[in-house]
Amino acid sequence: MEVVVAVIKPQKSVSSFSSREFHPSNYSILLVESKAALHAEWGKPIRSLPMFSLKRDEEPREVILNYLYQMTGEKSDGIKGERALPVRTSRDMLLNYQNNYSAMKLYCVPITHNHNNNIEKSVTANMAFFSLDIVLEGGKNFTCTPTTLTLLFTLKNWLAEKHMQSGSVRCMFRIRAEFRISVCINNPVFIPRSKEQTSADGRNTANFDALTKMLAIEKCDTVVMNPLFGSGLPYKAKTNRVVTNIYWGMGIPDYKEIIAHHQSAMESKLGMDQLWARNYPIHKCAYEGDVNGIMRLSKIPHSMKDDKMFAPIHYAAWKGHADAVVTLLRAGCSPNITNVDHQTPLHIAAMRGKPNVVDVLLEDSNIDVNARNKNNKTPYDLCCKASSPEMKRAADLLEAAMNRPSRKIEIHLMDGKQKTLNLTTGDNTTVSHFREQMLRELDLPESYGNIFSIWICSQSLELQLKLEHKPVHQLHSWKGVVKQLTEKDPEQEKPVLQWRRNAKVNLQEEQLLLSQIQHEVGINLLFQEAYHNYIYGLYPFTDQINYFLAACLMYILGGKQDPNSVKSYCTKNLTKFLPTSKQKVKGNANYILAQYRQLLEDDSLTHTSLKLEFLKKCHTLQIYGSAFFFGTLQERANRFTPYHIGVNGFGIHLINVQAKNFPKSYMYNDISWHYQEFNINLLEIRVKSSTGSVIHLQTKQAGIIYHLMTKLSRKPGSEEQNGIKSIL
């Protein structure tokens, strides 16, 4: 690797610079004259930055400082730099000068303005410091190699950035940290073994003395040491008590006759413990079956749990008070509420052999008959093998409930198809339950479970739901959500549930999964969503890539076409192959057909392989996988332009709704964003650059966008959202 060294020296003390002041005239740069190389027109020596070759295994900073010291005359007070700082080469320069600079690295060595050096008297008198502004101006008075001039402009931009950062310039010229340390003290107790001082008897005297003093300072009142610890003496632990499970080896027990660990406390404590009855009066009424007492205490939350993590309905089910259970259900208590053992009231009623309570609970439309406790047992598992008539009756009721058809709901796929799922817990069925059913319905591997999620969508609003959300409830409240987050008429917005890509999954996770498991159904689901966004203009490409993707779509959607009718087929179906903004381009059908014929030359062509190629092209877009919103951007005075707003793991992306051109993308590291409670429809984005531009997005969805950006810009794992803002 070729290393180029830029030694800079300020004309005055850097402490006199203001935090944002930068002028090339404030710096001098060290250049080397080449007397052998003269300018063809002016006959003057050409100057350049010092350069040398660096081996791959060498640490660049120390090698650069040693090289500079030797080059400037180590015997005649050469330059001793404090540090060598890598200068970031701009992307544009790499693109324009790739051949020249691909193996070249620029380092800056800053030295103070009063650095004691006398280069003119050294053996290397062919080098000198020149004012940076004169060098950059060039002309007849000064000539540099093209490479040096380009690198100096890069150095100029780098220095300008440093001046924009408060304190950065002073840190550049500060002496190194190891020379700023006045005193270094080590605690002898923690001296490495290689540096220990031992006495003749083998003891570490310094460490031992220091440890003794430390213990003396602590002034312990009592120190107790186990005499057996470290002695090596054999000893045997003495058993104080042996407890044997009386049911061990007796086969499957009758659960009704076994006293659970809660039962003894409940049977002995309840009704006699006045403190418990006073603290939890509604629990006491439920235990005693006092329906009037429960109704009288209506102001107390009916789902409140006591010190045993039991809700009132658990006690009513335990004692078999069906009327009390009905009263609590009508008061709003969930039939699926769990205790510390993840037992629902149905578990307890089944385990205790209370068929009357089981029958009442099964009549509730939201009951989860397949709920599992911490031992992964359903209510039916707890009573199906018992011998008592009551438990057999409870088992029959549960078996009949498990076999009866449940309510259904439709989940839409992006290709227009639907899957009908069971509402296993009625209206309380969560996204997590739906996701498990969808994986089974689509025969998807478990690894694809995190890639997809349930969305609730209408014509003007699309929101991803969390695992704990209950989609039926979201469908019922959708009109209010639409009114809160859009300007559209809620009556015209018909919500549906969709199975779509999880917006919180980053591109790398998807690419890794597709490289490991190429599941045909999973690939098709991802392709259908990418195809939808492509046709709608949310995934913009260059014309050449558009023609290639259109050719892929011709084969995927229509198969291999008859050569005599292929052009007619392409022209009639352009709306299926190209985004709306590209469909009227003259001659585009011919370009698509040319790409299509090239595809047909590949004998291994399949629908799945083409869908993968389509996805790979989409993966090159920074906007891929975004959750999309809608808002307006004030670009001129009193003129607001509508924009699609995409948010993903890279940043935020803005697409002009009318032009559908390439998006304006802003990465999280390059911006800051602000959402002010007093103006809930405004999202302010500040660009961290020399221009410092500010973008004001007007949208009712500003709160959701702000919270999603905050979440995706962090490392995975943190969730701190609630209410409507937690939908995404």
- Spatial contact of 90 and 160, defined as CB atoms under 8 Å apart: no
Are residues 478 and 497 located together in one domain of the fold? yes
**Amino acid (1-letter code) at residue 584:** K
Q: How confident is the model at residue 725 (pLDDT cuts 50, 70, 90)?
A: very low
CA dihedral 265, 266, 268, 270 (to 10 degrees): 130
Give the CATH number, domain containing residue 303: 1.25.40.20
Question: pLDDT at position 261, please?
Answer: 43
Structural domain includes residue 420? yes
Tell me: do 517 and 659 sit in the same domain: no
User: pLDDT tens digit string along 625-637?
Assistant: 999 999 998 777 6
| Residues 394 and 454 placed together within one structural domain of the fold | no
Would you say residue 186 lies in a domain?
no
10 Å Cβ neighbour count for 643? 23
b/e per residue, 143-159, with b = 16+ CB within 10 A?
bbbebbebbbebbbebb
Query: pLDDT for 291-330, tens place per residue?
Result: 999 988 888 888 888 888 899 999 999 999 999 999 999 8
Q: Does the pLDDT of residue 115 top 60, yes or no?
A: yes
Q: Which of 103, 112, 90, 82 is nearest to 14 (CA)?
A: 112
413 and 488 inside one domain: yes
CATH code for position 604 = 1.20.80.10
Task: Let me know: does 349 contact 317? Beta carbons within 8 Å.
Answer: yes
Note whether 33 and 163 are same-domain residues.
Answer: yes
Note whether 39 and 164 are same-domain residues.
yes
Both 20 and 123 in one domain: the answer is yes
Residue 517 lies in a domain: yes
Q: How many domains does the chain have?
A: 5
Mean pLDDT of 707-728: 56
Report the half-sphere exposure of 318 (CA within 13 A, side-chain side).
23
- C-alpha count within 13 angstroms, C-beta hemisphere, residue 677: 0
- Whether 99 has a pLDDT exceeding 50, the answer reads no
Final residue of a domain: which of 403, 430, 447?
403
Shared domain for 143 and 50, answered yes or no, is yes
In a domain, 727, yes or no: no
DSSP 43: -
Give the Å distances, CA to CA, from 708 to 383, 646, 711.
Answer: 47, 11, 5
Q: Of 403, 420, 454, at which residue does a domain stop? A: 403
Tell me whether residue 574 is in a domain.
Answer: yes
pLDDT score of 129: 87
Structural contact between residues 605 and 555, judged by C-beta atoms closer than 8 angstroms: yes
Question: Residue 182: what pLDDT?
Answer: 61
pLDDT of residue 619: 94
Question: What is the band of 720 on the pLDDT scale with cuts at 50, 70, 90?
Answer: very low
Q: Is residue 199 part of a domain?
A: no
Contact yes or no for 326/317 (Cβ under 8 A):
no
Q: What is the pLDDT of residues 190-220, one digit of tens each?
A: 665 544 455 555 555 666 677 677 766 666 6
Of 386, 403, 420, the last residue of a domain is 403
DSSP state of 198: B
| pLDDT one-digit tens code per residue, 161-188 | 888 887 888 888 888 776 666 666 666 6
* Domain that includes residue 481, residue range: 408-501
650 and 590, same structural domain?
A: no
Cβ 7 vs Cβ 78: under 8 Å? no
CATH number for position 671: 2.30.29.30
Tens-digit pLDDT profile for residues 379-426? 999 998 888 889 999 999 999 888 877 778 999 999 889 999 888 777
Q: Are 110 and 150 a contacting pair, CB within 8 Å? A: no
Domain co-membership, 589 together with 631? no
Whether residues 457 and 519 fall in one domain:
no
Tell me, yes or no, whether 179 lies in a domain: no
Interhelix angle 312-319/322-330, nearest 10 degrees: 160
Q: 479 and 518 share a domain?
A: no
User: Domain containing 423 — which CATH number?
Assistant: 3.10.20.90
The CATH number linked to 100 is 3.90.79.10
* 606 vs 57, more confident: 606
- Is 304 within a domain? yes
